[in-house]
Amino acid sequence: MSGVFGIVSNRNCSDTLLYGTDYHSHMGTEYGGMAVFGKKFHRSIHDISKAQFKSKFFDDYKEMKGNMGVGVVSDRDPQPLIVASKFGNFAIVMAGLIENVSELASGLLKEGETFGEMSSGGINSVELVAKLVTRGKTLSQGIEGVYDKIRGSASILLLQKDGICAARDRFALSTRSTEELAARKAILAIEERHFEDVREYIDRRSKKYQEMVNWIGKELGVTTLKYQEIENMVEAIGLPREKLCLYCWIGDYSIK
């Protein structure tokens, strides 16, 4: 997984950007990055696989001056990238999983495109997204075009001198495709086909539910596995339900 953070402020935003991006540290363990726009772009990228995000950027953010910025914690690609394009210069960060990176990159290479960013010997998916964006007649058309072409998911923040463009992943509640979910993999293995009516599988009293949990447990190599339910979580931590962020359960992040 990856996490992105963006801010537009009426003052220097680098400190808020640092702490806002650091809040997403649990969503990526390979690379962290920030880009701020003031009189020019300021960018910093670090390997955070063996250190905390905040410790890596604590000195960098003090040199960043500007009222707009984007940050990212990534599990695979170094980012943000700074791109010069027909739409002007922009910084781009992305969270998600694009399953057809090689296919799309191969098509662009055949058309004469080149890629300058390589991640672990492969194409940097953030650079791929940037190149797809710049192929549109307008910036908004370019971003829409990304979602028409990719197979998988992508949530994008694009920082220009005029502001930040934010494009939410079409899967809404996930930064990955539904096929990456453990439950979906289990259902596909059990049914041996794509199966849309999953009501039996989410009823913890049903045989289908237990069969799914057993399959996931075997796949993970564990002897005991149980889904954490909202009621159990609320009881365990001792806080009122309305004081909790339940986004990962039901898409509700409002806290009263």
Residue 162 has a pLDDT of: 92
How many percent of the chain have pLDDT more than 90?
A: 53
216-253 confidence digits (pLDDT tens): 988 888 888 887 788 888 888 888 888 777 766 666 65
Q: Mean pLDDT across the stretch 74-92?
A: 93
State both tokens at 204.
């913890």
Q: Residue 1: name the closest of 166, 152, 147, 116 by CA.
A: 152
Q: Answer for the pair 80, 45: CB distance below 8 angstroms, yes or no.
A: yes
Residue recorded with tokens 């075009």: 145
Residue 92: its H or E element:
strand 90-98
Residue 61 has a pLDDT of: 92
For strands 152-160 and 163-167, give the pairing: antiparallel
Residue 29 has a pLDDT of: 75
Residue 183 has a pLDDT of: 84
State both tokens at 10.
């009426």
Q: Mean pLDDT across the stretch 168-195?
A: 73
**Residue 71 reports pLDDT greater than 50:** yes
What Cα–Cα distance (Å) separates residue 139 from each residue in 39, 171, 187?
A: 22, 21, 39
**Residue 175 reports pLDDT greater than 50:** no
**Residue 151 reports pLDDT greater than 70:** yes
Considering the segment(s) 3-167 as one domain, its CATH architecture is 4-Layer Sandwich (3.60)
Residue 160 has a pLDDT of: 95
Select the more confidently predicted residue: 169 or 172: 169
Domain ranges of the chain: 3-167, 178-250
What Cα–Cα distance (Å) separates residue 63 from each residue in 21, 75, 119, 161, 200?
A: 17, 26, 27, 19, 55
